[in-house]
Amino acid sequence: MEKTLNQKAWFLVLPVFLLVAFSAVIPLMTVVNYSLQDTFGNNKFFWAGLEWYTELLHSERLWSAFGRQIIFSAIILAIEVPLGVFVALNMPKKGVWASLCLVLMALPLLIPWNVVGTIWQIFGRVDIGLLGHTLAALGIDYNYTRDPLAAWITIITMDVWHWTSLVALLSYAGLQSIPEAYYQAAKIDQASRWSVFWFIELPKMQGVLMIAILIRFMDSFMIYTEPFVVTGGGPGNATTFLSIDLVKMALGQFDLGPAAAFSLMYFLVVMLVSWVFYTVMTNLDKKAGY
């Protein structure tokens, strides 16, 4: 019997095709397109090749924003991860207090980002802000609109305030999943509190901590709203992180070509780091024998 040849089945994958095309491929290709061309307006484009890329790779402006970004992410990870673990270790394990703690911890996570920015912008103001005014009254020279260090401290404190809860909640979930028998065995083996943390709690939290670090890294690496609201990237360029710089370039100066090249490199860096994390995590899982 002859087989019926029918190509209509291809129509079945069409919806997925269209969805992916419009949501990912076409926008991305538009950016790729911009990154390879130059324009003087009037919708006229000229082929520029890799010019924007070479220019950006030699741009001091980009590299300094990248440096600030790395330092920012490193600092907030170095504070939020240990602090989050510490908070999780000290949260009550059950009862009313545990529920109350969970609700309180979740609160900062529920506040919209620009609201967080606004809260801290006002909180830190020397004229009317509780924090800024108090510090000024104590004779401490604090002004985040003038002093780069004060601006950094404000933004880092804000991020820690906003996101440590996430690390704490994830760690708490990891801790809660440790069977009671481990703690009992440790008591039987006369282990110290430090040993219990180092040999039981930390290894068991490894998985969730990796996820927490990954999420916090990506989020902080792409941070935009909060520093934009608080400092607008200033004073000077002191808190101009990659996203802020990108928006300045694309919308402020309307440099479409360089901004597109910038976005693609930015995207590649985030993807690369995520891939490294993913590989490390799956290797950990394999070692654990899941």
What residues line the site for another protein (CB under 8 A)?
Answer: 179, 181-182, 184-185, 187-192, 195, 199-200, 203-204, 287-289
Nearer to another protein, 17 or 97 (CB): 97
What secondary structure does DSSP assign to 127-177, as a single string? TT-HHHHHHHHTT----TTT-HHHHHHHHHHHHHHHHHHHHHHHHHHHHHT
Closest CA to 288 of 209, 206, 171, 220: 206
Nearer to another protein, 54 or 195 (CB): 195
Token couple for 117 = 């920015």
Closest CA to 241 of 56, 68, 77, 61: 68
Cβ of residue 4: shortest distance to another protein, in angstroms? 53
Nearer to another protein, 141 or 189 (CB): 189
Nearer to another protein, 182 or 224 (CB): 182
Cβ of residue 190: shortest distance to another protein, in angstroms? 4
Cβ of residue 204: shortest distance to another protein, in angstroms? 7
- CA–chain centroid gap for 147, Å, is 25
255: helix, coil or strand? coil
37: helix, coil or strand? strand
Angstrom distance (rounded) from CA 97 to CA 91: 8
Closest CA to 65 of 237, 280, 254: 237
Cβ of residue 185: shortest distance to another protein, in angstroms? 4
Cβ of residue 96: shortest distance to another protein, in angstroms? 15
Angstrom distance (rounded) from CA 72 to CA 230: 15
Cβ of residue 102: shortest distance to another protein, in angstroms? 24
Asked if 204 and 98 count as a contact pair (C-beta separation under 8 A), the reply is: no
In a 13 Å sphere around the CA of 222, the CA atoms on its Cβ side amount to 16
The residues near 280 (Cβ < 8 Å, ≥ 6 apart) are 210
Nearer to another protein, 110 or 181 (CB): 181
Nearer to another protein, 184 or 253 (CB): 184
Cis check: omega of the bond before 235, within 30 degrees of 0: yes
Cβ of residue 250: shortest distance to another protein, in angstroms? 47
Nearer to another protein, 122 or 200 (CB): 200
Angstrom distance (rounded) from CA 75 to CA 57: 25
